[in-house]
């Protein structure tokens, strides 16, 4: 390469006096020569590039010069804050210098292959390389560190890591610039595109392309196998996933479901097309559905007589795709299509849809629908308490099972903005969604087979305020506070007998057509320029859309401006002009949620149990209870909570003192602890009515945390009764909560959402709320100048990293070729549990039922692991004769139940009796293995035939008061169950004393703890979330189903409404009286101020007299 003076422009070098001054300052402070940025750089430097560099000596010299420029130990010491010549150099100055050096290195590297090797490391490898798409394992490791979702690394820290790698002699360590350049190249060619958007309101933000994100799932073998594309009828009848529930099976618009079925012989069958069965019958498939592991279809029978076709749409039949024997194209080729159709068939609309429009769009590839759940939330971008609001939009791939969607790995941040609202962001996301219906995304799998998919919005499981915004709802403080129905009215109306009772029930359902019609009426009304009329209408209907409100305000401002500019215009003339403008721009005025096909904002915003139950009704009763406790009562509750048996609760160790000390600031995981255990701790700390509410909320919460539903009708009936009990309990405590707290009313909508979506755990927001921490890490390390773009790029890099690490494929945007990671990379994550945890990934490997975990060897105080059976309580077992009591066994730590629970010593479990095969309950006394078989020694208990009268829970007792043991094979353990000691009956108190441990050692401080007085009576905790569905399967229904509080709800509600009206009247009287007293005090103060106050200092007297005079004049 030859470089002469004057050619620096060709290299892209710039003369910037600001940077030159920085360089000179750096030179002065560090007493070292820095090459100039002008042509003197090439003439005055210690090296020259006038001739082509060929020999090793010159290459070595060049490397030394670059190292001297980039890496200097004295400079490093100064940056760290020590060293002899440290002059408090600012970090910004150093970054400016490194940016200039990077620019010079890039331009030099572009012109010379040796410089490229030095500056950028090894060149980009081929797809066959071991660590493709990275150049080396070192580059790969650095990139992984740089894209960890919950371990974000700043530029300075990354530079220190690179420096440490080099100092440790790690081979192929790239420079910081080379790493960033490689990341940029990968983002451009193989990453998730970040699309710049501009809302109709002029707000700029960025979105990560959801097409690429969903394509990662389709192109990833480890994820694609979990994708479900059709509604399913479960073989065992148990509802576990959303595709088992009513929305997919019955309610969804047929046009948005997956339109085709790919048969085994390669034929593609589409809905709404004439199809032939093996027996010659003609049908029109309407909806593909999986039944008993085979794809079926709901279909209408078609008869053809003399070339005239007739569609019998009176009843749909279920056909198997194995019986299909000719699609529409086959019939067309065989000239078997009807020549004409009957009039009734034409009216069905199916004839005009043949062939299906998606057949041509698919281009011969299989075509499916991918549903997404959209979640919007306002989140602070700061880790401090300083509020830095960002509107965040997330999605999940709804075609995946719940166990995957609850992993952080499958939460995708699509967009964030400090300016654009959630509806504004969704408007551009909707454009991308609709584009996939015209140009479906094409994916090539590892076998070279092509698949296309379309994206469709499914549900919005946001919190209540965000769901109200999505549903064009005025909000929870409106007269009509429910986004799902029209329940409500003024406070006076809601306090009547009919109005009060109506708040306990679902009202007339809202729907998107009615909402859009109402908003259109409000827009037209705004053309009159009268704000009060619009506000009255919004208050009266409960429909108010923040997105549309922007345009309503704009129209009113236009009205005022037109009146001002041309006073001669009449109101009707201005209104006519505005209506004309509205008609020309109507597509801008309404939220994209209202125009999304297959999505109803009122129906598809399910009741979210985290915010409605834990952060709603539970917090109400928790505050009612603890706020009235005296210090002694709080201490007693703390002792009881700390003594809780947590085996079978799936919660973290309880910190009772923390929960009590910060009772008003608890989060979801702490509230989960309270709701599952409070019944056993507050029984004598609250009055009867409050305890009734605790029992009702505990029962409802446990039902809602079911992960599967065996009998939908029975389950929904139980939920309805439990929800009604919670409402009625609050009505007894404080009836104003019924008319003022919409979360209590929303409980009435639980059954309808369960029927539509299945277990509500599938649409819980817990995973999204947790992912806010990932966003916050990205926000803290963003440039804060373009946060939407910067955060979008960071999360896009994380998406690409996750896809490559899990064996996914991607399309090179430059060549169009589908690629996969190198061999070394594809299996890397499988052997890295730490990396899996950091990425929020789990492969859900189910442990073998009946397997055991042995006690560790060599642990202090562990004792011997081997023991003879006669040395255990096996000698007391009722089936001891089946075993050799002198045999030697190895002690074990835990056993895996059939439910995959790890059950340790002391755990309560349901198990299958080895004697009569009945399901029993017992407490694990010992777990043993002899390498050939695993056994569990259990202490047997009996389940009561009736509930405990006080707790309404089944209780356990010893048979005839005797201690009984049984030996069961480990494979007989069914599941773990939480059981609590009946301290109320046993009158247990905090009489025990012990040394309090602090910093994992005894502190010498004595504390009290609960001592159980007996070991004979226990309560089955039906409020426990874990295995709540299993315990209700093994226990009789009369022990578990909720019992209504009121036999006649309406009459009881009328009585409560009467008290409510009396209380509201008294509150109004008290408010009026207080206002009058305040006015009287003010009047007397003014009268007393007529005289000059004595003793007032001269400098204050003038000010006081002015104030008094002003008040007197105002009074006069």
In a domain, 365, yes or no: no
Sequence-distant (≥ 6) Cβ neighbours of residue 1033 within 8 angstroms: 710
Q: State the sign of the Cα–Cα–Cα–Cα dihedral 1087, 1091, 1097, 1099.
A: positive
Residues 1015 and 999 in one domain: yes
Cβ-contact 299, 293 below 8 angstroms: no
Tell me whether residue 948 is in a domain: yes
Residue 463 · residue 608 · CB < 8 Å: yes
Residue 245 maps to a domain: no
Above 50 in pLDDT, residue 119? no
446 and 399: one domain? yes
Beta-strand (E) ranges in 292-408?
294-305, 308-320, 340-341, 367-380, 389-397
Query: How many residues can be counted in the chain?
Result: 1116
Give the Cβ contact number of residue 838 at 10 Å.
Answer: 16
Same domain, 745 and 882: no
pLDDT at 782: 85
Instruction: At 9, give phi and psi (nearest 5°).
Output: -65, -35
pLDDT digits (tens, 9 = 90+) for 973-1014: 999 999 999 999 999 999 999 998 888 888 889 999 999 988
pLDDT higher than threshold 50 for residue 88: no
pLDDT in tens, 721-761: 999 999 999 999 999 999 999 999 999 999 999 999 999 99
The pTM for the full model equals 0.85
Judgement on whether residues 744 and 671 belong to the same structural domain of the protein: yes
Residues 1054 and 1032 in one domain: no
DSSP letter at 250 equals: I
Residue 909 lies in a domain: yes
Mark which of 739, 764, 789 sits at the end of a domain: 764
CB contact at 8 A, 351 and 345:
yes
208 and 333 within one domain: no
Distance of alpha carbon 766 from alpha carbon 407, whole angstroms: 10
633 & 651 share domain:
yes
Q: Are residues 970 and 1104 in the same domain?
A: no
Residue at a domain's end among 764, 794, 821:
764
Beta strand pairing call for 954-957 and 1017-1020 = antiparallel
For residue 542, being part of any structural domain is answered with: no
On the question of pLDDT at 569 being above 70, the answer is yes
Of 64-68, 520-524, 864-868, the poorest mean pLDDT is in 64-68
Q: What is the DSSP letter of 543?
A: B
| Overall average pLDDT of the 481-509 stretch | 94
Q: For 196-255, write each residue's pLDDT tens digit.
A: 999 999 999 999 999 999 999 999 999 999 999 999 999 899 999 999 999 999 999 999
Confidence label for 123 from pLDDT (cuts 50, 70 and 90): very low
Lowest mean pLDDT among 48-62, 100-114, 274-288, 851-865: 48-62
Name every residue whose Cβ is closer than 8 Å to that of residue 972 and which is 6 or more positions away in sequence: 911, 912, 913, 914, 936
- Express each pLDDT in 283-316 by its tens digit: 999 999 999 889 999 999 999 999 999 999 999 9
Domains held by the chain: number: 6
CA 544 – CA 172 distance, rounded (Å): 60
Residue entry with tokens 């530079």:
159
982 shares a domain with 946? yes
**Are residues 860 and 1006 both part of a single domain?**
yes
How many CB atoms neighbour CB 157 within 10 A? 13
Cα–Cα distance, 851 to 467 (Å, whole number): 46
Domain boundary among 1040, 1070, 1096: 1040
CB 749 within 8 A of CB 723: no
Do 273 and 332 lie in one domain? The reply is yes
Whether residue 440 is contained in a domain is answered as yes
Cβ atoms of 190 and 133 closer than 8 Å: yes
**Which domain covers residue 630, as residue numbers?**
609-764
Residue 244 lies in a domain: no
Q: Are residues 209 and 305 in the same domain?
A: no
Asked if pLDDT for residue 74 goes beyond 60, the answer is no
pLDDT 10s digits, 820-875: 998 888 888 888 888 988 888 887 778 899 999 998 876 665 567 899 999 999 99
* Residues 701/704/705/709 CA torsion (nearest 10 deg): 150
Three-state SS at 950? coil
The verdict on residue 799 lying in a domain is yes
């Amino acid at each position: 390469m030859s470089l002469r003076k004057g050619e620096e422009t060709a290299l892209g070098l710039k003369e910037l006096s600001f940077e030159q001054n920085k360089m000179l300052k750096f030179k002065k402070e560090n007493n070292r020569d820095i090459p100039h940025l002008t042509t003197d750089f090439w003439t005055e430097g210690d090296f020259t590039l006038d001739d082509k560099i060929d020999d090793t000596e010159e290459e070595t010299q060049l490397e030394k010069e670059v190292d001297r420029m980039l890496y200097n130990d004295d400079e490093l010491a100064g940056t760290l804050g020590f060293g002899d010549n440290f002059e408090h150099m600012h970090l910004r100055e150093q970054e400016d210098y490194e940016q200039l050096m990077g620019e010079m290195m890039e331009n030099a590297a572009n012109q010379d292959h040796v410089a490229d090797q030095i500056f950028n490391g090894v060149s980009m490898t081929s797809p066959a390389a071991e660590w493709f798409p990275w150049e080396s394992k070192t580059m790969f490791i650095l990139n992984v560190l740089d894209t960890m979702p919950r371990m974000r690394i700043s530029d300075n820290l990354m530079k220190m890591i690179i420096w440490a790698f080099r100092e440790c002699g790690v081979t192929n360590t790239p420079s910081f610039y080379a790493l960033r350049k490689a990341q940029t190249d990968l983002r451009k060619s193989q990453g998730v595109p970040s699309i710049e958007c501009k809302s109709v309101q002029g707000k700029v933000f960025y979105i990560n392309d959801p097409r690429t994100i969903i394509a990662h799932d389709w192109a990833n073998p480890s994820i694609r196998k979990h994708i479900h594309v059709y509604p399913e009828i479960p073989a065992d009848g148990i509802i576990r996933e959303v595709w088992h529930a009513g929305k997919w099976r019955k309610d969804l618009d047929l046009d948005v479901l997956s339109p085709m079925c790919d048969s085994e012989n390669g034929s593609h069958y589409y809905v709404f097309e004439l199809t032939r069965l093996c027996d010659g019958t003609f049908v029109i498939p309407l909806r593909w559905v999986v039944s008993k592991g085979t794809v079926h279809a709901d279909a209408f029978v078609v008869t053809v007589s003399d070339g005239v076709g007739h569609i019998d749409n009176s009843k749909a039949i279920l056909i198997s795709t194995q019986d299909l024997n000719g699609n529409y194209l086959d019939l067309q080729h065989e000239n078997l299509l009807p020549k004409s159709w009957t009039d009734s068939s034409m009216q069905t609309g199916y004839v005009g849809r043949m062939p299906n429009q998606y057949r041509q769009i698919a281009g011969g590839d299989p075509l499916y629908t991918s549903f997404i759940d959209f979640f919007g939330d306002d989140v602070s971008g700061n880790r401090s308490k300083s509020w830095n609001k960002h509107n965040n939009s997330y999605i999940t791939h709804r075609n995946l099972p719940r166990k995957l969607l609850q992993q952080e790995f499958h939460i995708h941040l699509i967009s964030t903005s400090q300016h654009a609202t959630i509806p504004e962001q969704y408007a551009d996301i909707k454009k991308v969604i609709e584009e996939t219906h015209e140009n479906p995304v094409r994916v090539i799998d590892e076998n070279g087979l092509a698949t296309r998919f379309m994206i469709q919005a499914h549900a919005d499981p946001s919190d209540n305020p965000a769901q109200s915004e999505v549903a064009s709802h005025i909000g929870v403080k409106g007269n009509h506070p429910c986004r799902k129905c029209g329940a409500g009215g003024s406070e006076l109306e809601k306090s009547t007998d009919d109005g009060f009772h109506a708040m306990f029930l679902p009202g007339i359902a809202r729907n998107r057509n009615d909402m859009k019609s109402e908003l259109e009426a409000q827009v037209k009304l705004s053309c009159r320029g009268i704000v009060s009329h619009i506000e009255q209408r919004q208050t009266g209907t409960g429909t108010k859309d923040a997105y549309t409100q922007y345009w309503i305000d704009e129209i009113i401002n236009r009205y005022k401006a037109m009146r001002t500019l041309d006073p001669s215009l009449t109101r009707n003339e201005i209104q006519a002009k505005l209506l004309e403008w509205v008609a020309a721009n109507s597509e801008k005025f309404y939220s994209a949620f209202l125009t999304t096909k297959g999505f109803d904002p009122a129906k598809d915003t399910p009741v979210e149990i985290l915010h409605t139950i834990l952060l709603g009704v539970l917090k109400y009763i928790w505050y009612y209870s603890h706020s009235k406790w005296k210090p002694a009562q709080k201490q007693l509750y703390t002792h009881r909570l700390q003594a809780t048996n947590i085996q079978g609760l799936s919660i973290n160790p309880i910190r009772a003192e923390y929960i009590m000390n910060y009772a008003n600031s608890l989060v979801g995981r702490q509230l989960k602890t309270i709701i599952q255990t409070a019944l056993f701790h507050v029984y004598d700390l609250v009055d009867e009515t409050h305890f009734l509410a605790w029992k009702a909320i505990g029962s409802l919460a446990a039902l809602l945390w079911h992960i599967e539903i065996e009998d939908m009708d029975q389950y929904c009936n139980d939920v309805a009764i439990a929800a009604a009990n919670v409402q009625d309990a609050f009505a007894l405590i404080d009836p104003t909560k019924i008319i003022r707290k919409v979360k209590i009313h929303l409980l009435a909508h639980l059954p309808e959402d369960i029927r539509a979506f299945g277990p509500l755990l599938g649409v819980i927001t817990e995973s999204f709320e947790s992912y806010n921490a990932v966003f916050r890490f990205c926000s803290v390390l963003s440039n804060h100048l373009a946060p939407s773009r910067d955060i979008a790029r960071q999360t896009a890099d994380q998406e690409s990293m996750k896809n490559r690490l899990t064996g996914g494929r991607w399309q090179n945007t430059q060549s169009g070729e589908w690629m996969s990671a190198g061999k070394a990379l594809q299996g890397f994550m499988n052997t890295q549990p730490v990396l899996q945890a950091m990425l929020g990934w789990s492969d859900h490997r189910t442990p073998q039922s009946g397997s055991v975990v042995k006690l560790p060897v060599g642990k202090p105080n562990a004792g011997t692991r081997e023991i003879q059976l006669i040395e255990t309580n096996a000698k007391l077992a009722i089936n001891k004769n089946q075993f050799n009591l002198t045999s030697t066994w190895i002690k074990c730590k835990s056993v895996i139940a059939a439910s995959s629970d790890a059950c340790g010593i002391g755990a309560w479990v349901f198990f299958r009796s080895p004697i009569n095969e009945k399901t029993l309950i017992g407490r694990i006394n010992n777990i043993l293995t002899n390498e050939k078989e695993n056994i569990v020694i259990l202490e047997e208990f009996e389940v009561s035939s009736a509930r405990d009268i006080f707790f309404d829970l089944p209780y356990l007792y010893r048979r005839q008061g005797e201690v009984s043991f049984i030996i069961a094979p480990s494979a007989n353990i069914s599941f773990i169950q939480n059981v609590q000691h009946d301290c109320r009956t046993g009158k247990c108190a905090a009489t025990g004393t012990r040394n309090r441990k602090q910093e994992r050692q005894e502190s010498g401080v004595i504390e009290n703890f609960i001592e159980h007085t007996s070991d004979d009576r226990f309560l089955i905790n039906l409020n426990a979330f874990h295995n709540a569905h299993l315990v209700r399967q093994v226990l009789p229904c009369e022990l578990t189903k909720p019992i209504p509080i009121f036999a006649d709800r309406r009459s009881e509600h009328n009585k409560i409404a009467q008290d409510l009206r009396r209380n509201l009247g008294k509150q109004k009287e008290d408010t009026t009286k207080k206002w009058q007293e305040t006015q009287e005090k003010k009047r007397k103060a003014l009268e007393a101020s007529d005289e000059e106050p004595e003793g007032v200092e001269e400098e204050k007297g003038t000010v006081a007299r002015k104030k008094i005079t002003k008040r007197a004049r105002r009074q006069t």
